[in-house]
Amino acid sequence: MRLTVPFRPMTWRSVCAIAAPLLLAPAAIAPLHAQTAPADQHAALSPGAKSDNAKPDAAQPAATTAAPASSTDQRSAAAAALDKVKQAAKSAGDIFRRVPCLQPKGVANTTGSLPHVAAKLADGRPVVIIAFGSSSTQGYGSSAPEFTYPNRLAAQLRRHYPSADITVLNRGIGGEDAPEMMKRLQTEVIDVHPDLVIWQVGTNAVLRNLDPKETGKQVEDGVARIQAAGADVVLVDPQYSPRVTERPESARGMVKLLSRIAALRHVGIFPRFEVMRDWHEQQAIPINDFVISDGLHMNDWGYACFAQLLGDDIIHSVGQIKLGVNVPSDVRAYRPM
C-alpha cells in the first residue's frame, strides 16, 4: 500500500510566501477573531520569517518626476495581483486535499463534554476560547502567524459555526511551564472570562527536569481555578518529538500525570503525544515531515493536523449536548485539511 506523507516544508513555504497576503487581509471582517503574537514577535521566533519592519517603506512619496498612475492602471494592477494570490491560495488548498490528516486508530476522543461552549453556541452568544501554553501554542516553527494551531483551530470553528461570534486568543509564551503560567493565569486567562481554555503544558517540565509532583499540584490547582471561573478545560500533553522522547521515562510520566489530573477534575485531555506517535509509528510519516530541525517543534503540517483533530473533537463534544442532539460517531471522520 502506498502511504501519503506530508509535503516537504520548503514546498509549503514557497506557496505560503505568495498566499499569505490573501489569508491575512479580508478574514478580519469575519465573525471569528483569531489573535496571536504580533507579527514581529513571531518573526523573531520562526526560522526564515520576516518582520514587516524589514520591508521597504512603501509609504515614501514618489519622485516628483514620476508620472502618476491612472486609476484604471491601478485597478488593473490590483486585480492582477489579487488573481495571482487567489491562484496561489488554490494551490495551497490542493496540497491539503492531497495530504490527508487522518484520525489515529485506537486513540480515543477524550475531550469530554464542553457544556459552557455548547450553551453559548445554542443561545447565539459570543464564545471566547483561550489557547494557553508555551512555544507550541505561541507557534514556534510555523512559517507565519496564520499557520499556528490556534489560528488553524479558529478557521475550522468558523467554517463549522459560520453564524457564531467566536474569539480565539493565543496566550502562548515560549519556554514556560506550569510555574510561569500560574503567575499569569489570573490576568491572562481567568480575568478574560473564557468559555473554554485549552491548556498545553508539561513539555518544558520534561526538558527542564521539573519536579513532576510540584508540576501536578500546580496544574491541578490551575484547572480548579479555571473551572471555578466557569470555563470548560481541555489539557494538551507533550508532543512526540526527538527532544521529548530522548527522555522516555519523564515523557511517559508527564503524559500519565496530565491524564490523571484530567480524570480527577473531570476535564478533557487531547492526547497529543499518542496522536503524533501514531503519525510516525502507524502511518509511517517521517519525524522530519511534521517536526522542524530543532527536534522539538511542529512545522506547518504538524500544527495544521493537530488543530484539525482537536477541532473535530471539540465539534463532536459540543454536538453531543448542544440542543440535546447526539452527534453520530462518524462525524469524526477526519477530513483532508
* Model pLDDT for residues 16-51, shown as the tens digit of each residue: 344 444 333 333 333 444 444 433 334 333 333 333
Q: Residue 230 domain-assigned?
A: yes
In the beta sheet, which residues pair with residue 170? Answer: 131
Q: Residue 64 domain-assigned?
A: no
Give the mean pLDDT of 248-270.
97
Provide the number of structural domains found in the chain.
Answer: 1
Residue 158: give its domain's CATH number: 3.40.50.1110
- What rounded mean pLDDT belongs to the chain? 77
Q: Residue 189 domain-assigned?
A: yes
- Supply the DSSP symbol for 190: G
Q: Residue 334 domain-assigned?
A: no
Q: Is the pLDDT of residue 75 over 60?
A: yes
Could you list the residue range(s) of the whole structural domain that residue 260 is in?
Answer: 30-44+104-326
Q: Give residue 103's pLDDT band: very low, low, confident or very high (50, 70, 90).
A: confident
C-alpha cell at 123: 443561545
Give the mean pLDDT of 299-310.
93
Q: Residue 132 domain-assigned?
A: yes
Q: Residue 335 domain-assigned?
A: no
Residue 327 Cα distances to 53, 110, 153, 311, 337, angstroms = 47, 15, 20, 15, 21
Upper half-sphere CA count for residue 130 (Cβ side, 13 Å): 24
Q: Residue 93 domain-assigned?
A: no
pTM of the model: 0.72
| Amino acid type, 71 | S
Q: Residue 82 domain-assigned?
A: no
* Range of lowest pLDDT (144-148, 175-179, 270-274, 290-294): 144-148
